[in-house]
A and B are shown apart, each in its own frame.
Chain A
Amino acid sequence: MSGLLDGRVAVVTGGASGLGAALVDRFTGEGARVVSADIDHPAGDSPDARAVDVTREADVAELFDDVVSRHGRLDVLVCSAAVEVRAPLAETTDDDWQRVLDVNLKGPFLSLKHAIPRMVASGGGSCVLMGSTLGALGAPQYSAYCASKGALVNLAKQAAIEHAPDGVRVNVVSPTACEAGLFLKMAEASGDPEGIKQFVAARTPMGRLGTIDDVCEAVLYLAADGSSYVSGTVIPLDGGLAARRIS
């Protein structure tokens, strides 16, 4: 059976756990050769599960050099590596702020910078950045996270416009709370994970949290050819929340 990504080469940052790991599996199942880049991969474990600090330009450049030298091309980039700090403004430290902006924003900047020329050389490609509902609306105690995700959307638009003539597309998927990833970590650390999940689900028009499959389907759509005329946009994955937003 043919897959949606047959013959394609994809890089997923943050691929060691959560949504990133699910995306690696899903892309592989669709026929792609997938390289996962994550600071949590053990160094030297496998060439396709690389220990990479996405905030270091040397690491990022080396990653894409290696991918192209081993796999011959680059077609898809998913920037899924992210961190979250939840703290009141007064208690958000310089280090917290910088780490969130570095991982969630500078990481995608560096990844796009080094991936796009290699995609151009491969005849085009698709980049998908993992955004958040909190890029489009504010929430108390998420100053750094909101800023990083709001900026990320504009980064995607810049890259989309600059590289539209090259056949490189850049889009954002913006999930709200999902049964995976950072929200799940936050919920589990809270002491009342079920209560928090139910509270958030109840405020969502669809009455449920997002699932890993919801995210994988949306990212796969943007990565594959079905979205070939879609670039510079944001797909909210939020159970209908966006319909309530003032625009």
Chain B
Amino acid sequence: MVRLLEGKVALVTGAASGQGRAASVLFAEHGANIAVTDLNDEGSAETVEMVEGAGGKGLPIHADVSRRDDVDAMVAAAVERFGRLDVLYNNAAVQMSGRLVDTTEEQWDLTIATNLSAIFWACRAAAPHLAAEGGGSIINTASVLGLIGSEGYAAYGPAKAGLVALTRQLATELAPAVRANVIAPGSIDTPRFQKVVEEMDDGEGFLSGLLQNIPLRRLGTAADVAGIALFLASDLSAYTSGTIVPADGGLAALR
């Protein structure tokens, strides 16, 4: 197997489960060491075990990315442990739904802090390290909901759209030493997604309606997203920066 991240170090936020875990393990299979960052220490410990099972070194880091001090500390901890940082994968997010007129100031502030400000802080802290080795890559997880207007995501949609704009901006400012790109997942089958569907009155009806609108006729998986992350993390994408890769089953072709 060609190992695409041999000797590289990646910091992945939201790495205790789902897409962050899948990417951490895949990156490790490709030769990277991983700073496994999350609020959920138990989940992080499991991910670290899986990273080590895949042949990489894993460092669990506890961080609440909505707090700027935690974000600075997580970058410092990763660099201290591994001596370098090549990939910053900002995957952690909160998803609160709610219509604009019902969105409270607290919901707004937390969503903007976690899904937008946190990434700004992390990129600011990591940029010198990412640039130091050359070929650094920033991967930011936005959402299809940051690319389109929707209903009931009055804080989440703007935060993710802001993240797309921030990533484009970083791509202009941090070039040529560092690339920055966005993954925009659509409907991904993660534990959180399952929980949302279970809590619906007509979850099955919602799912079948959703699949009708996805050309590939299935939900995405964490592995689908991790594959895109690997591409963006590695030199396979060495000439790609400031762009958006949707993981949406072809949805973008329809709307």
Residues in A lying within 8 Å of B, measured CB to CB:
57, 88-90, 92, 94, 97-98, 101, 105-106, 109-110, 112-113, 116-117, 134-144, 146-163, 232
Contact = CB atoms under 8 A, between A and B. Distances in A.
A41 B100 CA distance: 28
Contact of B112 (A105, A134, A139, A152): A105
A135 B161 CA distance: 9
Interface of B: 68, 99-101, 103, 105, 108-109, 112, 116-117, 120-121, 123-124, 127-128, 146, 148-155, 157-166, 168-174, 242
B100 A113 contact: yes
B64 to A, nearest CB: 16
Summarize A's interface: helix, strand, loop or mixed. helix
A155 B158 contact: yes
Given A90-B124, A98-B117, A112-B100, A147 B169 contact: yes
A147 B120 contact: yes
Nearest to B172: A138
A40 B148 CA distance: 35
Contacts of A150: 161-162, 164-166, 168
Given A105-B162, A113-B100, A162-B151, A57 B172 contact: no
Contacts, number: 134
A149 B165 contact: yes
Contacts of B165: 134-136, 138, 146-147, 149-151
B150 to A, nearest CB: 7
A157 B157 contact: yes
Given A139-B172, A143-B170, A101 B112 contact: yes
A89 B154 contact: no
Q: 10 nearest interchain CB pairs?
A: A150-B165, A157-B149, A151-B162, A154-B161, A138-B168, A138-B169, A146-B169, A138-B172, A147-B166, A151-B158
A68 to B, nearest CB: 15
Nearest to A155: B158
B151 A89 contact: no
Contacts of B105: 57, 110
A109 B109 CA distance: 11
B94 to A, nearest CB: 16
A79 to B, nearest CB: 13
